[in-house]
Amino acid sequence: MPHRHPTFSIGAVDEGRSLFTGAAHGPVTLRPGTLVFVPAERVHACNPVPGTAWSYQMLHLDAAWLRAVRREYVQTALDGTEPVRISTEPETYERFRRLNALLFSNADPRGKESALIEFLGDTDAGVGLRIEAPAVPSRLAGRLRPALDRLRAAPDCDAPLEELARLADMSRYQLIRAFRAVTGMTPHAWQLNQRVNLARERIREGAGIAEVALQLGFADQAHFQRVFKAYAGVTPGRFRA
């Protein structure tokens, strides 16, 4: 049945086959490993091939939120002419599966935000949308210094991605890419890693685990345990022992 969504929709076919209508060049058969990017309000339909079953995943993004993110990094104007995009690249499909699993997990919201913005920016760049590079590589560290100073000065406070991007004079997507280029991590991962390094020092000095978790801004001791083990390979208790 033809329909439309107020959201920007991304669908992934996991098993089976379906027939998609709404693309510029007529109906398209979707097979496992296919991704479909459907702009908000675009009329389309997607149904399994008659007599068969299929399995798929969907992600719906608020249209206003996506426009705001894109305005930060896309130099090419995006309007109602944006086409439906269909991708059959295995790497993009697997990346989407990992992203969807992360978004629907109990992971930290800031890590989810970074992963989502990075995925969207990379897929936009992959279809030729003009995204300005944040700076030449030799200058990236200097551009990031204000954001890094902010994270170092208050390791117990979650710094919004918007604030860090403003300090570096970049879009959120550019900031994430620049952080990866300079540090090998996203801003959120860098901050968590910094907290774990500080936690190691304080535990060595004799501080209690619950006290350290509170001092470094973790939601609770269980959250601290999960993050510490992810970065250190052992629990805080085992590390102290």
For 87-111, write each residue's pLDDT tens digit. 999 999 999 999 999 999 988 898 9
**Alpha helices, DSSP H, located in the chain:** 63-73, 90-103, 109-126, 137-153, 161-168, 172-183, 187-204, 209-215, 221-232, 236-240
Strand order in the sheet with 18-21: 28-30, 18-21, 45-48
- pLDDT tens track, the chain, 241 positions: 677 888 999 999 999 988 888 777 778 888 999 999 999 888 888 888 777 778 999 999 999 999 999 988 876 656 566 888 899 999 999 999 999 999 999 888 989 999 999 999 999 887 655 555 555 566 888 899 999 999 999 988 888 999 999 999 999 999 999 998 888 889 998 998 889 889 988 988 888 889 888 888 888 888 888 888 888 878 888 888 7
For the question of whether the overall pTM of this predicted structure is more than 0.75, the answer is: yes
Q: Distance of CA 126 to CAs 87, 121, 131, 153, Å? A: 10, 8, 10, 36
Task: Give domain limits for the chain.
Answer: 7-126, 137-184, 190-240
Q: Which CATH superfamily is 7-126 part of?
A: Regulatory protein AraC (2.60.120.280)
Nearest partner of 154 among 187, 182, 194, 204, judged by Cα: 194
Q: Which fold has domain 190-240?
A: Arc Repressor Mutant, subunit A (1.10.10)
> How many residues belong to the chain?
241
